[in-house]
Homo-oligomer: A and B are copies of this chain.
Amino acid sequence: MIQQIAPQTGVAFTLKKGEQLQVIDPQGMQVSDMVLFNQHDIREKISSGKTLDFEESILISKGNYLWSNRSRKMIKLLEDTNGRNDFLLAPCSPETFQIMYNNHEYHPSCFENLYTNLAAYNILPDDIPTAFNIFMNVQFNSKGKLSVLPPMSQPNDYVLFEAQMDLIVGLTACSAEDSNGGTFKPIHYKIISNKG
């Protein structure tokens, strides 16, 4: 069953080892921030530093794994129809909009949408790591300069993941204008059980 994450919101749920998670961009050009925790010990979580190290690449796509801070495989990318994701930048937070957008009004953020939904699993704001930003189009040049461009994802592009351990998943429909070309769209996801 396909489930919807409304624009500028998030969800949290568990995913058992061997289960698959399909994250879909139904309209195209939207980003979904994902964080993962070991379901049985939330101090183990995804690590950008460990993942880039073990996968020897800034760009993470089909065939790569996301690794934990304890150097263990958490999830595998089985399929990736768009092929561009980001694992460099932290989830957008209230400070992102203050510092990068000079917006000092309230603004929804992936950070808030992650920690409010993950609170049900006793995960606190300080526990949120750098997210794996599905469909996010962060370009870099040879001098390392970073630019956030609109996603290249087309309607119904998806990434299919397979859990390598029992997980808690936090997942958003991104709230930042720069990440999705100023349009706020939903994200769809589907859990595919290995029990049939």
- Which residue numbers of A lie inside 8 Å of B, CB to CB? 43-44, 47-50, 52-54, 56-59, 69-71, 88-91, 93, 95-96, 99-100, 126, 128-131, 140, 142-147
Contact = CB atoms under 8 A, between A and B. Distances in A.
Contacts of A89: 49, 52-53
B96 A146 contact: no
A71 B59 contact: no
How many protomers of this protein does the assembly include? 2
| Chain A interface mostly | loop
B88 A52 contact: yes
Contacts of A142: 142
Contact of A145 (B56, B71, B128): B56
A57 B89 CA distance: 10
B53 A143 contact: no
A57 B50 CA distance: 19
Nearest to A52: B88
A58 B88 CA distance: 8
A57 B145 contact: yes
A70 B93 CA distance: 9
B144 A53 contact: no
B48 A96 contact: no
Given A49-B90, A89-B49, A58 B144 contact: yes
A19 B99 CA distance: 25
Given A44-B126, A71-B93, A126-B44, A143 B59 contact: yes
